[in-house]
Amino acid sequence: MTRKIVIIGGVGGGATVAAQLRREDAESEIIVLDKGSHIAFSNCGMPYHIGGLVKNRDDILYSTEQFRKKYKVTVHTNTEVKAINRSTQRIYYQAALDAGELGFDKLILAPGASAIIPNIEGLNPQRTFPLHTISDMDNISDFIETKKPQSVAIVGAGFVGLEMVENLRERGLKCTIIDRSSQAIKIIDEDLAAIVENHLNDKGVQILLDDGLASCSNDGKTLHLNSGRKVEADLIIMAVGIKPNTELAIDADLKIGTTGAIAVNEYMQTSDPNIYALGDVVEAPDTVTGTPRHVALAWPAHRQAYIIARHLTGATASFNGTQGSAILKVFDLTVGATGLIAIN
């Protein structure tokens, strides 16, 4: 009998698991549902489209029609899964024009994470944007085109924040980056972070550390920091982190781990063996310490997709953990990190 495999989320983890699975299994019916309008796009390319390096927007997108044909997969975009019923093995979705339900033999959760927007008094959503989805990217590009901002404050000096600084400098904006910790890029050592911070200064970026955004005024253009400092900015990029999209899993009573992400075994099965999960929504053991860690990067999602495809087709490859290896370009520097840092 043909199996029905339903995948929730169709980008980093979801599209990859669909493609990997089809390579191993020509028979199963594979159905991907994504609440966004695009699947299999390159999140990593978004800052560079905003900066103008990737001129053609289509270069970071993958045609849904092509994906359907190439992998013989059914894809429903603009379709949000609202609930999972484990006992009847059905999911319930809401699409633009209709609502419906689908049965599954195996379910794969790849709903990723959402950008955190802190509840800050006076923040104006018309000029404050995260960068997590294609619509976020389009909103930022449209704002730059139509409102012609001269200055930007980037809140958060992590990977996305720093990529945005470089790309918005490229667009000619005066950049200020704000972070409440004492260094940029928390996952590297302090002395290396100092090199990055000096380089940002050399490139004309103001970097304010040990300081957080307390409130905004003046139509969201004046940022008041915890220290009492004020920053003026026409545009704010909120890059303070993400939280895993665990609502469906929590409602379905699947086990959530100590980091707040979904707990899975080495084959990426959740506490229900018919339901797998991968990518930004799961935690995995750290390779060094073995303790659960939430690492939101493309490599673990891709590797986990392979593990799930293998497991669903009878093989026993397992996911043994993550080191969080990552690499980042900051203007003329390349910053790499792997493993853990010592915290004093």
Ligand X SMILES: Cc1cc2nc3c(=O)[nH]c(=O)nc-3n(C[C@H](O)[C@H](O)[C@H](O)COP(=O)(O)OP(=O)(O)OC[C@H]3O[C@@H](n4cnc5c(N)ncnc54)[C@H](O)[C@@H]3O)c2cc1C
Interface region with ligand X, contact rule CB under 6 A, candidates 48-56, 59-67, 105-113, 165-173: 105-113
Q: How many Å apart are CA 143 and CA 139, to the nearest integer?
A: 6
Q: Per CB under 6 A, does 279 bind ligand X?
A: yes
The pair of structure tokens assigned to 231 is 């920053």
Q: How many Å apart are CA 326 and CA 297, to the nearest integer?
A: 8
- If phi > 0 it is left, if psi is from -120 to 50 it is alpha, else beta; for residue 219 that is left
If you compute the radius of gyration of the chain from its CA atoms, what whole number of angstroms results? 21
Q: Per CB under 6 A, does 209 bind ligand X?
A: no
The pair of structure tokens assigned to 79 is 């379709």
Closest alpha carbon to 93 in 104, 111, 81, 85: 81
Q: How many Å apart are CA 235 and CA 248, to the nearest integer?
A: 33
Residue nearer to ligand X on the CB measure, 77 or 222: 77
Q: Per CB under 6 A, does 120 bind ligand X?
A: no
Closest alpha carbon to 158 in 212, 225, 235, 239: 239
Least distance to ligand X from the beta carbon of 337, Å?
Answer: 12
Least distance to ligand X from the beta carbon of 228, Å?
Answer: 31
Q: How many Å apart are CA 118 and CA 188, to the nearest integer?
A: 25
DSSP summary character for residue 263: P
Q: Per CB under 6 A, does 80 bind ligand X?
A: yes
Sign of the CA dihedral running 178, 136, 328, 52: negative
Classify 162 as helix, strand or coil.
Answer: helix
Catalytic residue (choose from 19, 44, 116, 192) = 44
Q: Which of 5, 6, 8, 175 binds ligand X (CB under 6 A)?
A: 8
Q: How many Å apart are CA 239 and CA 201, to the nearest integer?
A: 19
Give me the 287-316 binding string for ligand X, x by CB under 6 A, dash otherwise: ---------xxxx-x---------------
Q: Which of 7, 11, 165, 178 binds ligand X (CB under 6 A)?
A: 11
Least distance to ligand X from the beta carbon of 218, Å?
Answer: 28
Q: Which of 6, 30, 84, 131 binds ligand X (CB under 6 A)?
A: 131
Q: Per CB under 6 A, does 47 bind ligand X?
A: yes
Least distance to ligand X from the beta carbon of 254, Å?
Answer: 14
Least distance to ligand X from the beta carbon of 54, Å?
Answer: 12
Q: Per CB under 6 A, does 43 bind ligand X?
A: yes
Q: Is 216 a catalytic residue?
A: no
Residue nearer to ligand X on the CB measure, 38 or 310: 38
Closest alpha carbon to 24 in 307, 336, 324: 307
Q: Which of 5, 7, 9, 307 binds ligand X (CB under 6 A)?
A: 9
The residue ranges that bind ligand X (CB under 6 A) are 8-9, 11-14, 33-36, 43-44, 46-47, 80-81, 110-112, 131-132, 160, 245, 248, 279-281, 296-299, 301
| Catalytic residue IDs | 44
